[in-house]
Structure formats: C-alpha cells, structure tokens
Amino acid sequence: TPNIKPLIAGNWKMHGTSASLSSLEAMATGFAEAASDADGVICVPATLLERAAGVVEGSSLQVGGQDCHPAEKGAHTGDISPEMLSDCGAIYVIVGHSERRADHGESDGVVADKAKAAWRAGLIAIICIGETEAQRKAGETFNVLEEQMAGSVPAGASATNTVIAYEPVWAIGTGLTPEIADIEAAHAHIRQHLRKQLGAETADSMRLLYGGSVKPGNAGDILSVENVDGALIGGASLKAEDYLGIVGSV
C-alpha cells in the first residue's frame, strides 16, 4: 500500500539459545543495506529478549515478544507481562498466533485482552488471524476472518499501535501458500472490514502482513500484492541469509 512502510517480522517460535544470537547479529548488521524502505523486527523467545535487544542496539532492526499475559503482574506462574517484555527492550509483541490459539485455547476475547495489554505497556501488537484448511475448504474463510477481527482487534486499534497478520493456518510451516489471487482477495477483504470496524483513515494506514511459508524465493511476488504491507516469517527468519533475502525483496 503506497503510504505504508512495510514491516518484515520474524517469529523464532520456540527456537533459539545463546548460540542463535550470532544469527541475529548478522541480521542487524545487514538490515539497513538489505531494506530499501522497511521496518524489521525479530520476535525471539522471551529468554533471549534482553540479550537480543543488546545485539540489535544501534541498528534499525528491532526485537519483540511472541505472546504476553493480559495482566501487568500477579499470580500467574510462568507467564510474562507486556511490561516485562518492554522492560527487556521489546518494541512489538505477537498476540493470537494460531499456535497459541490451538495449543493454549486462546479465544478471540483473550487475544483482544492481550492486544490491549500490549498497548498499555507501549508495545505494538501484531494480531494474528487466519482460517484453517477445513474452514477454507468449507468456503468460510471470509466469515472466519471477520469474526476474528471483530473479536480480537479491540476498539482503539490504530496504525501505530497495531499490525494485523493474515496467516492461513494451513500455510504455516507447511511450504504451502495460497494462490496470489487468494492472498490479494483476503487482504482486500481484511482492509474493507477494518474500514467498517475502525474507520477508513485507520484501516487505510494499518499494516497488513501476510504470513505462511514466506521464503526468499516467493517473497517478491507476495510482497508486491496489493494490501500486503509486509510479512510475518517463521522458519525463514531463523537464518540471516533467508531473512535478509526476504527483506531485500521489499
């Protein structure tokens, strides 16, 4: 979208120990040269966040978390608040990733609470939506997306505090991607629905990322689709060469 600066977001999921920081360092070093005009963030495991923030310091690459608890603090063993992520140097946090929705039973309501909590802590929420294979086959894709937007994108979402990631669940980690025309149709539908939900001015400046098996080889085609303002990348964000290859195709 012409007036929107793309975002290339990486999601390391449950991958990465100290040894992986050299890969992050290579991404930070190469980012400015690879990115003609894009923002970049790598969402690392919380255990690496503070060191990762140190590694990217001084570069234009940023770091983020992969999930947060809605509360600021409290008796929630094992959980991490957005304030804690921010304290470690996070700028973004992913909420409602399909793996969280599936593995932890997160509902749209929980995802909305997490997004609001992210804003409270000054973080940018990357809110994930997307249909399963069964839902796509049943022709329910647009209904599912509408329901997820209505339920997990809270009022108050703005182009500066929120990024929407469209990730067809069946395309995540499978090497499968939708046809370009299907990505285009889904993103147009999302933009249209967000206009109704948040107003045209907000919706037209909000970043809509595509996620699901984005690789250096398909990134150019996907990133040039109308209403695709960047990508959320899992597997291909683990290696600097892959991530920078995608960044370079913006």
Stretch that binds ligand PEP, among 46-54, 80-88, 131-139, 206-214 (CB under 6 A): 206-214
| Residue 173 annotated as lining a ligand binding site | yes
Cβ proximity of 228 and 222 under 8 Å: yes
Q: How many Cβ atoms from other residues are within 10 Å of residue 249's Cβ?
A: 21
Two structure tokens written together for 87:
């304290």
What are phi and psi for residue 202, nearest 5 degrees? -65, -50
User: Active site includes 97?
Assistant: yes
Q: Which residue has the tokens 């967000």?
A: 194
**Contacts to ligand PEP from residues 11-70, by CB under 6 A:** 11
Stretch that binds ligand PEP, among 27-35, 38-46, 149-157, 234-242 (CB under 6 A): 234-242
Kindly tell me which of 175 and 199 has the beta carbon lying closer to ligand PEP: 175
Q: Closest approach of Cβ 11 to ligand PEP, in Å?
A: 5
Cβ proximity of 191 and 204 under 8 Å: yes
- State the DSSP code for 170: G
- State the DSSP code for 123: P
Q: Is 212 near ligand PEP (CB under 6 A)?
A: yes
Candidate list 65, 211, 230, 248; residue touching ligand PEP; CB under 6 A:
211
| Residue 12 annotated as lining a ligand binding site | yes
Q: Is 148 near ligand PEP (CB under 6 A)?
A: no
Q: Is 129 near ligand PEP (CB under 6 A)?
A: no
Two structure tokens written together for 95:
């909420």
Minimal CA–CA distance to 171: which of 216, 220, 221, 133? 133
Q: Closest approach of Cβ 195 to ligand PEP, in Å?
A: 25
User: Active site includes 167?
Assistant: yes
Kindly tell me which of 157 and 219 has the beta carbon lying closer to ligand PEP: 219
Which of 83, 99, 131, 167 does the annotation list as catalytic?
A: 167
CA distance 18 to 158: 35
Q: Which residue has the tokens 């809270």?
A: 154
Q: Which residue has the tokens 């964000």?
A: 237
Cβ proximity of 212 and 199 under 8 Å: no
Q: Closest approach of Cβ 100 to ligand PEP, in Å?
A: 10
Stretch that binds ligand PEP, among 73-81, 136-144, 153-161, 167-175 (CB under 6 A): 167-175
The catalytic site residues sit at 97, 167
> Applying CB under 6 A, which residues contact ligand PEP?
11, 167, 172-173, 211-214, 232-236
